[in-house]
Structure 1
Amino acid sequence: MIIVSAFNDGFTALRANPILLVAGLLVGAGSQLQYVDHLIEQPLLSAGVSLAWLIVFPFVIGGFLGTARVAIDGTDASLTHFFTAARTHYLRLLLASMLFVLLVFGTAIGLGVIGFVLGIGAMAIAPINEMAAFVAGIISLLIWLVSILVVMMFVQFYDTAIVIENKSVTAAFQRSIRLVRSNLRSVAGFSLAWVALMNVFFIPEYLLQLMLTDAGPDDVLPIDLGIPLVVLLPIGIVLTTVGFTYFHTVYTAYYMRLIAASPAAPEPT
């Protein structure tokens, strides 16, 4: 089964090429930059650092995917290959990442407007049947959420299409859509398993987010964790590093197996 094989490929590649953890560490540390202001109490500096990270991330992910590819192929990965792949694909990944965000937010806003109109309709029937109005509101919310997730699923492979197959920005999105449409059941199963398992490694980060809410950790959680911020932060970095490294290597392996089993997509004219 292609999904199980991809997870095995990721483990084999990571065990043979621990250099992948270096790229994972960059992401693990970078993902924690959003909490800098809670440590140094300088929101403007924190915002600048976070913005810089958003610009740097396509460079890191491009280098990582390129390095993961050679590791999966059985070639010795290296930092030299990491920086070569990062420089080669950076501009396209930056533009594609911006387009990805626009697609997701555009879908969310567009469906949100539709949901708002439906919500007004649900409020209109509330005096007649409150339960029907409540159910209509829940269904509208679920449709909004599922639709966004479907859009993300169909275009999720834009970055691997750029790095692995050297696609242009538009061709990368087209390639992702074709692959998902041709392998819908497999991609849906992989996406669910991948997201669920990867989020296990992000639990410390989610706990950190809860601790930093205005409500306070004691109001959000039924128990007092008793874990200081300076302790939870490095734990989050370590687990995010391991989680990102392994699961994005699996992600790369899955894409490579997917394109090997699918016909090559013609380049747009």
Structure 2
Amino acid sequence: MVLVSAFKDGFAALRTNPILLVAGLLVGAGSQLQYVEHLNESPLLSVGAPLAWLIVFPFVLGGFIETARAAIEGTNTSATQFVTAARTHYFRLLLGTVLFVLIVLGTAIGLGLIGFVLGIGLIPLAAIHEMAAFAAGVGSLLVWLLSVLVVIMFVQFYDAAIVIEDQSVTDSFRRSIALVRSNLKSVTGFSLVWVILLNAFSIPEYLLQLTLTETGPADVLPIDLGVPIAVLLPIGIVLSAVGFAYIYTVYTAYYLRLIADSPISTVSE
């Protein structure tokens, strides 16, 4: 099974190639830059650090995917290879990431406006039957969320298509859509497991977010963990490093298995 094999491939590659963990550490540390405003009084730094990371992330991602592919295929991996791949694919990945965000935001806003218009139509229903109106509102919200997630699922492989198959920005999205369409059941299962793992590795980060807001962990959890920021932050960095390294190595392994069964000609179909 492609799904199970990809997770096995990812674990084996990560175990034998520590450089992937180093790259994961860069991502883990970078992902925590959003909290710098709570540790430093400089407004410029609090805004500039997360923005800088958004610009740097495609560079790290390009190097990581190429290095992960080499590890999975059993060829040599090195820091030089990482940097070379990162530089080669950077601008396409940066443009692709911007386009990905625009697609997702455009879908969310567009469907949100449709839902808003339909919600206005529920006002007369609320006057007649409040429970029915509430159920219709919840149903429309779930449809909106599911639709956004489906769009994300179909375009999620744009970055792998750019790095692994050297696709252009627009062709990478076409390739991703074609692959998902041809392997819908498998990709749906992979995406669910992948998201669950991603959120599991992000638990310390979620607790940190609660700690830094007016809503504390005790307001959400039945017990007060009493874990200070100084502890949650390094734990979040370490788990983000391991989590990113593993799930993106699995992501690369899964993509390699997908394209092995789907010729590049599917882009034009």
TM-score by length of structure 1 reads 0.97
**Equivalents in 2 of 1:41, 1:122: separation in Å?**
47
Whether 2:35 is the aligned partner of 1:22: answer: no
CA distance in structure 1 between the partners assigned to 2:143 and 2:198 by the alignment = 25
Question: 1:79 aligns to what?
Answer: 79
Asked if the contact 2:175–2:267 (Cα under 8 Å) also holds between the matched residues in 1, the reply is: no
Aligned to 1:31: 31
In the TM superposition, residue 216 of structure 1 has moved relative to its aligned partner by 3.3
Report the Cα offset of residue 251 of structure 1.
0.2
**Residue 49 of structure 1: aligned partner:** 49
Contact 2:122 2:133 in 1 (8 A): yes
Which aligned pairs between 1:150-169 and structure 2 lie closer than 5 A? 150-169=150-169
Q: CA RMSD in A?
A: 1.1
Matches within 5 A, 1:55-70: 55-70=55-70
Confirm or deny that 1:88 pairs with 2:88: yes
Residue 253 of structure 1 aligns to a residue whose secondary structure is helix
- Matches of 1:7 and 1:55, distance apart in 2: 29
Pairwise CA distance, 1:266: 5.8
Distance 2:133 2:46 in 1: 43
Amino acid of the residue matched to residue 135 of structure 2? Answer: V
Superposition map of 1:164-175 within 5 A: 164-175=164-175
CA separation in 2, counterparts of 1:165 and 1:143?
34
Q: Deviations over 1:92-146 (max 9, x none)?
A: 0000000000000000000000010111111221111111101110111011100
- In 2, the alpha carbon distance for the partners of 1:250 and 1:56 equals 22
Instruction: Give 1:120's aligned residue.
Output: 120
1:237 equivalent in structure 2: 237
Deviation of 1:267 after TM superposition, in Å, equals 6.1
8 Å Cα contact 2:119/2:137 also seen in 1 = yes
SS in 2 for 1:254: helix
Query: 2-side partners of 1:224 and 1:43: how far apart?
Result: 31
Match of 1:189 in 2: 189
Spell out, residue by residue over 1:171-190, the C-alpha distance to the aligned partner (whole angstroms, 9 max, x if none): 00000000000000000000
Deviation at 1:265, TM superposition (A): 2.5
In structure 2, stretches of 5+ residues that fail to align are none
Match of 1:142 in 2: 142
Match of 1:111 in 2: 111
- SS of the residue corresponding to residue 264 of structure 2 reads coil
Deviation at 1:81, TM superposition (A): 0.5
Counterpart AA for 1:76:
N
1:199-223, Cα deviation, whole Å (9 max, x unpaired)? 1111101110111112334334332
Which amino acid letter does the alignment assign opposite residue 178 of structure 2?
A: R
The aligned runs of 1:251-266 (5 Å cut-off) are: 251-265=251-265
8 Å CA contact retained: 2:10, 2:247: yes
Query: Is 1:10 the counterpart of 2:10 in the alignment?
Result: yes
TM-score (norm 2): 0.97
How far apart, CA to CA, are the structure 1 residues paired with 2:205 and 2:267? 41
Partners of 2:221 and 2:123 lie apart in 1 by 33
Cα distance in 1 between the residues matched to 2:65 and 2:52: 21
Q: Tell me which amino acid in the other structure corresponds to 2:260.
A: A
| Percent identity over paired residues | 72
Distance 2:40 2:69 in 1: 38
Asked if the contact 2:70/2:77 (under 8 Å) is kept, the reply is yes
Structure 2 letter corresponding to 1:161:
A
8 Å Cα contact 2:178/2:266 also seen in 1: no
Instruction: Count the aligned residue pairs.
Output: 268
Deviations 1:216-257 (A, max 9, x none): 343343322111101110000001100000110000000000
Q: Distance in 1 between matches of 2:124 and 2:44?
A: 45
